[in-house]
Structure 1
Amino acid sequence: MSYPDQRSEDQWRAVLSPEQFRVLREKGTERPGTGEYDSHYPSKGVYTCAGCDAPLYTADHKFKSGCGWPAYFDSIPGAVKRHVDNTLGMKRTEIVCNNCGGHLGHVFEGEGFPTPTDERHCVNSVSLRFTEDIGAAAKGSNETAKA
């Protein structure tokens, strides 16, 4: 797949921590209940990609699922791309940043959560950054896309 942000592996290693690289670039998963944003419920703001700063989710999308990872019922339109993931002997739907292709986690449907979409985007905290400044998040995405 081709994404607007086309950095090399060495360029990604220069800007990501080893754990961020493992999750975002190598499709890893952080341990449940350990992430910075698992119990983070702000009233406003934007969660952006930790790799490229593209806006992904708003605070309004987040809900308490008890799954051990941050959960969102939807993403900002066009921010997340879905791929079929057949690893671990099961069919899942992987979600990645639509700007850089960084692995975010997986989306699950029909679990019975009372959300408008009947979906749970199960996202690794290490894949995210948070800002209350919605304007700065949008500006960061536009600048990254031009790089």
Structure 2
Amino acid sequence: MRSIENILKANKLSVTAGRQKILQLFLNSGGALAHADIEKNAGEHFDRVTIYRTLQAFVEKGLIHTIPTSDNSIKYALCKDDCGEGHHHDHHVHFVCNVCNNTFCLDSVVTPKVDLPEGYQSAELEVVAKGVCKNCGKNTKKKP
């Protein structure tokens, strides 16, 4: 596994304490993160603007991608290795758990091809499934 410093350098981003900390949060998370999650866990040394700019730089470089939420906010999740600057290839389904409210990238579930009417061109396709995640499903099963 590449170091955080090497990931930032490979993407032509300066290595700062803020970028290292935020990238580490993504690497440690099991799912998507909202700006508020990052703000809460990054520590008191990072203001909202610094976090926002860092997230935007990571999106632009193809390190993370955005996931829209039902309340019109955005969550962010790590991209896979085939994403790059200006080219996101995150054609997978996102899953939102109704119990724990976590959002997960289901990389093995590919978004379906959508045949649009003539004259329409799709720039991106977002598919969100909602239900109970595997962790919450284990906790809610009835015991004999």
Q: TM-score range by the shorter chain?
A: under 0.3
Which of structures 1 and 2 has the larger relative contact order (alpha carbons within 8 angstroms, sep 6+)?
A: 1
TM-score, scaled relative to structure 1 = 0.25
TM-score, normalisation: structure 2: 0.25
Bigger-Rg structure (1/2): 2
- Structure number with the higher helix fraction is 2
Higher strand share: 1
